[in-house]
Chain A
């Protein structure tokens, strides 16, 4: 499925200041990604890593992904199958990392109106969040235009592959 296609999943709620150390703890830096993923967010929600299902959506408060530049914070979410992250604001490097791995990250001011476990539908390009349980619809900013090609390609590495395989004349 394309990372920019509409997606649907259950909401997992997190508060403010979820930092990258709790998503990808330094103690598991040398472990394989699968093992690090099992400890993702365990310090704030021990049930998350074992219970999250592919397509589920993280809904968070302010500064989601604040702190360290570690890309594993975004990688473990992708590894666990998280479909999108909706947050009131993001740590700046995490935001870039998420999009670079093809994980839609959208600014969502109304995060506080979502309840845990509600079924959400997200259109990352159009910038639309639909709460299927309440019927409410929210307009948000979609993925920035200058990053659309990169996210649509599945992230930075596939995008670079496309770009590098084109003859130089086309790389305007």
Chain B
């Protein structure tokens, strides 16, 4: 009994410390009043306006049990009672640890602020690549893990990254001590392509580019919905599945993922539409074969450039109807020689362009003159 009580005290103590690290503390009733600016689609970040600052809250996991608060102030530093990272805007130097952020910053015309990237091999943007080549932009994660010393030398004000599942690692104390604030963006947890694109609004706050982000997102959303309406009336919904097996496992996008949503919006029937999961699910080749053998279209075939590349990985892929009918489309039409793919950098920020490509693939008669941008048919 004594031992179990002791254990509970220890748990409570650890919980208190953990909460103190990153979660916003219970707010004191003071003169500050935060007004939420409602997002249209995104649900993994929140923006609150205040007289002196903008408050950004980002969630770190799917369950939204962990969050982090950033107070972005353009002039005088406010003094809020809740715990947060305080960042003066506009920031002049940023590090991007995922190529999707490069795409967002390019859309906001603030690429000049980028002083560090993870690895140039994953970057498609030509300007960034030129600067990497002359070492004007440093590569701080060339071997997979973040090189803290190099990052400290670059000294970016913020470091845009995705959650790695370990909060302690995501918020490395050495970086925070050096005033390099990790901005952890869980954009890939969003369940719709538009929600993911709306993250441009969160990133824009660091550069005081809210208006530009708003107008850009409005344009993307309007265009996306217009395109989606075109397929609403289609009675014919071609079947589609994605990916290749990795080892013995075939990872399939969850039916609640933004990929599955986009396939539905493009007027296709995703054959793994019944698992109600956001994250990818693992299947065996037998299960995929049973469900997708007669499927009409096959997308996202890893690095394959041609039909023979697909067969080189496993000759048995030829049994799928999509292969027999040569209806294989890969999302690697635009890529560098090192393998960086514009789909992940630009495409995810422009779901309207991705949707247009998909509609062209599934319903060529609805977009007769649209040349594919991110996708290409394997031959």
Report whether chain A binds chain B. no
